[in-house]
């Protein structure tokens, strides 16, 4: 890697002045297009946290675009300067404005990285924010069958482990006819907890003691697919000592029966997202012209239901 001297760096900004300014203008156009799309997202949806997240992003975008606009105005003024003074002024301004333009491009690239405001991505982000809140211990995710609740919470589990927000993450499936012995076993296996008690209450006491005593450990427990109110004490999950995410098809079951402190609803995918998911799943298969027309119709019939889209793709590809 070649290391440039301060003088070479200074001259480099001046030499690449035009390229940096034009590159900045192109990036601003790209950002403007993304801003318009995300502004629409901020006005819709049923979650105030998601709206605030998008609005925060838009505020950051407006600040960057304001800097870019000021730089363009400065560039216009520089172009209108005449005489010998212009020559001296150019050397200084070309360096300063070129450096500013390059920094703005870097800032735009960064906000564009965080501009993926697909509905599921946004819900995952605000859910993780809720899990970081010390005052929130019980979070709910609800939505109709096949809408992607399980996929979402498993992605959340993966993300919080990567970010090292929790020392242990445990996922157990509840189902319509919950088997508490199995659920306890799944939690125990993940925590390397040896259970030598035979009764349900005895096993629950051991598990509760483990989850409660690990004061220095952050543990996240995810209970997927709840159909009725669960007695967490019976399973062995303490009210304090760990964080809990529960999913259900019924929002009232979470907020009213389970007492969740924050709930996130998953709706059907918007048409654009559904189409994007379908194309991603189909891959090279969509190169077939005959299959393209069939794929479009099938995508519409799935009506934004992720599970239906995934299963239809498998059938079409076979």
Residue 49 confidence (pLDDT) above 80:
no
Q: What is the mean pLDDT of the chain?
A: 76
| Contact assessment for residue 147 and residue 120, using Cβ atoms and an 8 Å cutoff | no
pLDDT for 85: 46
pLDDT for 126: 84
Mean pLDDT is lowest, of 133-147, 150-164, 280-294, for 280-294
Percent of the chain past pLDDT 90, that is, above it, reads 12
Residue with the two structure tokens 């601003």? 28
Distance CA 45, CA 59 (A): 19
| Contact assessment for residue 61 and residue 111, using Cβ atoms and an 8 Å cutoff | yes
Residue 152 confidence (pLDDT) above 50:
yes
Mean pLDDT is lowest, of 46-50, 76-80, 90-94, 202-206, for 202-206
- What is the per-residue DSSP string for 159-208? HHHHTT--SEEEEEEEESS--HHHHHHHHHHHTT------SHHHHHHHHH
Distance CA 276, CA 272 (A): 6
Mean pLDDT is lowest, of 39-53, 114-128, 219-233, 268-282, for 39-53
Residue 87 confidence (pLDDT) above 60:
no
**Annotated domain spans of the chain:** 6-117, 120-265, 271-317
pLDDT for 2: 46
Q: Is 173 exposed, middle or buried (0-12, 13-18, 19+ CB in 10 A)?
A: middle
Kindly state the average pLDDT of the residues 115-142: 83
pLDDT tens profile 252-284? 999 999 989 999 888 887 777 777 777 777 777
pLDDT for 242: 82
> Which residues have a Cβ under 8 Å from the Cβ of 205 and sit 6 or more positions away?
197, 236
**DSSP code for 46:** S
CATH of span 120-265: 3.40.50.300
pLDDT tens profile 93-126? 777 888 888 888 888 888 777 665 566 777 888 8
pTM assigned to the model: 0.61
């Amino acid at each position: 890697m070649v290391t440039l001297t301060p003088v070479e760096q200074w001259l480099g900004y001046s030499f690449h002045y035009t390229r940096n300014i034009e590159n900045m203008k192109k990036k601003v156009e790209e950002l403007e297009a993304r801003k318009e799309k995300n502004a629409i997202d901020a006005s819709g949806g049923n979650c105030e946290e998601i709206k605030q997240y998008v609005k925060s992003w838009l505020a950051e975008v407006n600040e960057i675009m304001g800097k870019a606009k000021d730089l363009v105005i400065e560039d216009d003024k520089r172009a209108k300067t005449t005489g010998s003074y212009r020559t001296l002024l150019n050397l200084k301004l070309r360096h300063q404005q070129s450096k500013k333009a390059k920094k703005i491009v870097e800032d735009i690239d960064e906000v564009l990285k965080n501009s993926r405001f697909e509905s599921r991505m946004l819900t995952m982000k605000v859910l993780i924010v809720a899990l970081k809140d010390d005052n929130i211990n019980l979070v709910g995710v609800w939505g109709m069958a096949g809408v992607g609740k399980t996929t979402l919470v498993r992605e959340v589990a993966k993300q919080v482990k990567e970010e090292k927000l929790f020392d242990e993450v445990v996922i157990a499936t509840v189902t319509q006819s919950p088997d508490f012995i199995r659920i306890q076993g799944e939690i125990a296996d993940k925590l390397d907890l040896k259970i030598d008690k035979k009764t349900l209450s005895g096993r629950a006491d051991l598990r509760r003691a483990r989850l409660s005593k690990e004061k220095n450990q952050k543990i996240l427990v995810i209970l997927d697919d709840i159909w009725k109110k669960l007695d967490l004490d019976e399973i062995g999950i303490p009210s304090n000592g760990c964080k809990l995410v529960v999913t259900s098809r019924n929002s009232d079951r979470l907020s009213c029966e389970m007492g969740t402190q924050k709930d996130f609803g998953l709706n059907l995918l918007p048409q654009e997202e559904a189409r994007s998911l379908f194309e991603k799943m189909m891959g090279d298969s969509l190169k077939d012209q005959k299959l393209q027309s069939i794929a479009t119709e099938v995508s519409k019939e799935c009506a934004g239901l992720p599970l239906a889209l995934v299963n239809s793709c498998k059938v079409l590809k076979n």
